[in-house]
Structure 1
Amino acid sequence: MTDLLVRPAVADDLDAVLAFWKTAAEGTSISDDRDGVERLVARDPEALLLAEREGELVGTVIAGFDGWRCHLYRLAVHPDHRRRGIGSALLTAADERFVRLGGRRGDAMVLVRNERAQHAWRAAGYEPQEQWRRWVKHLTD
């Protein structure tokens, strides 16, 4: 996995990210537009993490921290690059970011019908919290 680069997105990446989500993400959201993603990057320049292999965008995750809790969104890996550790590398980078910021618990909203994603989150150490329909991982004891 030495050829994989995980880095924060910059403004020049945003059009590529939006196009990528149409291919790699399960569904879209009302905030999946240029204005929404620009606001995210302007507010927290390190929140949108990109995985690149040989200059090609192959994965994303949004690792947002509100000062109290850590929230994960838009974990997506290009269909041609799945099952190669990219999602795990993104989640590791997100976890490291959260710990640096003082976060103690990460959570992720995962579509109930998205069984592939549920498997990935479980493999990364997150556990479903059925009463909240979210997945949670404690980052520190």
Structure 2
Amino acid sequence: MSDLRIRPAEVSDIPAVLAFWRVAAEGTSVSDDETGVAGLIGRDAAALLLAERDGTLMGTVIAGFDGWRCHLYRLAVHPSARRQGVARALLAAAEERFTALGGRRGDAMVLEANERAHHAWQAVGYAREEQWRRWTKPLAPR
């Protein structure tokens, strides 16, 4: 995808990213607001990767590394750009980031009911681990 540009998000991108997720992402996160995304960018300016074509946002992924594990979140591709290599390019960029930081394995948060996403993740080499289940506890009211 030579016409696809991948770059880290900036604070000025936050409104566009939030609007994009409402169209392109499955489900919502407790952190899908200006404060949450600004906190991510402030903590790790290179974690939120954007894929753009001709200045238009086509995809996102959060590639967070905590020094121990490599976490992937919010992989989303605009419906008009799906099956065109956008997710593959974003994940390749995320994996390059992880490798440069010393990461050893990426793990992805994928909604159980999002069958389309399951196929996309499998196509790029990720596999479900049956022995793990995510446990959560809200730390702030929604």
Normalization by structure 1: what TM-score? 0.93
Q: Give the corresponding residue for 1:48.
A: 48
In 2, Cα distance between equivalents of 1:110 and 1:133: 12
Deviations 1:69-101 (A, max 9, x none): 000000000001100000000000000000000
Q: Percent identity?
A: 70
Q: 1:131: how far off?
A: 2.0
Q: Give SS of 1:39's match.
A: helix
Query: Where do residues 119-134 of structure 1 align in structure 2 (5 Å cutoff)?
Result: 119-133=119-133
Q: How far, CA to CA, are the matches of 2:50 and 2:69 in structure 1? A: 21
Q: Match of 1:86?
A: 86
Which residue of 2 is the match for residue 138 of structure 1?
none
Map residues 1-141 of structure 1 onto 2, 5 A cutoff: 1-133=1-133
Q: Deviations over 1:103-125 (max 9, x none)?
A: 00110111111011001111111
Distance across 1 between alignment mates of 2:133 and 2:124: 17
Q: Counterparts of 2:33 and 2:43 in 1: how far apart (Å)?
A: 16
For these two proteins, the number of residue pairs brought into alignment is 134
Q: Cα distance, 1:130 vs. partner?
A: 1.6
SS in 2 for 1:129: coil
Structure 2 counterpart SS, 1:127: coil
Greater strand content: 1
Q: Which runs of 5+ in 1 are unaligned?
A: 135-141
**Distance in 1 of aligned mates of 2:25 and 2:34:** 16
Displacement of 1:133 after TM fit?
4.3
3-state SS, counterpart of residue 74 of structure 1:
strand
Q: Unaligned stretches of 5+ in structure 2?
A: 135-142
TM-score by length of 2: 0.92
Instruction: Name the SS of the counterpart of 1:22 in structure 2.
Output: helix
Q: Give structure 1 regions of 4+ aligned residues with deviation exceeding 6 angstroms.
A: none
